[in-house]
């Protein structure tokens, strides 16, 4: 059994993170010492690592809750349910990547349009483009 600080260290989170997940009803602390300290099992550690890794992948707490429920009761769920959750997150990430690529191209155009000299910024192509809300036309 682990105290909250030990569990946090093993899972590479803070004790406040564990308390937060408890408030979100994603973790329990059923066992306490005589002094009232929470005690956690190896299963609790595995659950915390599951949640942490899910968060690292950008899953929402609701999605992690669904994945946990599938993990806890696999006989009443299918792999397709887990896959659907992962596919939804993958589509979100792919959309974000597309937005970032568009942003990257736009920033390159802004960068390339600027001469970058030390002249006054009165005629700065970057500032003009931002003010107009349009990218400069490439030469």
In this predicted model, what pLDDT tens digit does every residue of 93-104 receive, in sequence order?
A: 999 999 999 999
Domain membership flag for residue 35:
yes
Host H or E run for residue 39: strand 38-39
| Measured distance CA(23)–CA(33) in Å, rounded | 20
Owning domain of residue 99: 78-139
- 138 band by pLDDT with thresholds 50, 70 and 90: low
| Measured distance CA(23)–CA(18) in Å, rounded | 9
Looking at the fold, whether 54 and 7 belong to one and the same domain comes out as yes
Who has greater pLDDT, 124 or 65?
A: 65
Long-range Cβ contact pairs of 5-10 (< 8 A, separation 24 or more)? 7/40, 7/44, 7/45, 7/48, 10/45
Who has greater pLDDT, 84 or 127?
A: 84
Number of domains forming the structure of the chain: 2
Domain membership flag for residue 73:
no
Looking at the fold, whether 16 and 54 belong to one and the same domain comes out as yes
Q: Is pLDDT of 122 > 80? A: no
Assigned token pair, 116: 């970058």
For the chain, give the percent of residues with pLDDT over 70: 97
Host H or E run for residue 38: strand 38-39
Assigned token pair, 41: 């099992």
Measured N-to-C along each axis, helices 42-56 and 61-72 cross at an angle, to the nearest 10 degrees, of 140
pTM: 0.76
């Amino acid at each position: 059994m682990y105290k909250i600080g030990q569990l946090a260290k093993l899972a590479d989170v803070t004790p406040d993170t564990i308390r937060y997940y408890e408030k979100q009803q994603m973790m329990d602390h059923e066992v306490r010492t005589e002094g009232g300290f929470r005690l956690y099992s190896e299963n609790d550690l595995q659950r915390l690592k599951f949640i942490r890794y899910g968060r690292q992948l950008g899953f929402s707490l609701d999605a992690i809750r669904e994945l946990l429920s599938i993990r806890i009761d696999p006989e009443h769920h299918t792999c397709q349910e887990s896959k659907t959750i992962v596919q939804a997150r993958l589509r979100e990430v792919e959309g974000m990547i597309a937005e970032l690529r568009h942003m990257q191209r736009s920033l390159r155009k802004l960068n390339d349009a600027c001469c970058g000299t030390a002249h006054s910024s009165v005629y700065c192509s970057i500032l003009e483009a931002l003010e107009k809300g349009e990218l400069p036309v490439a030469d």
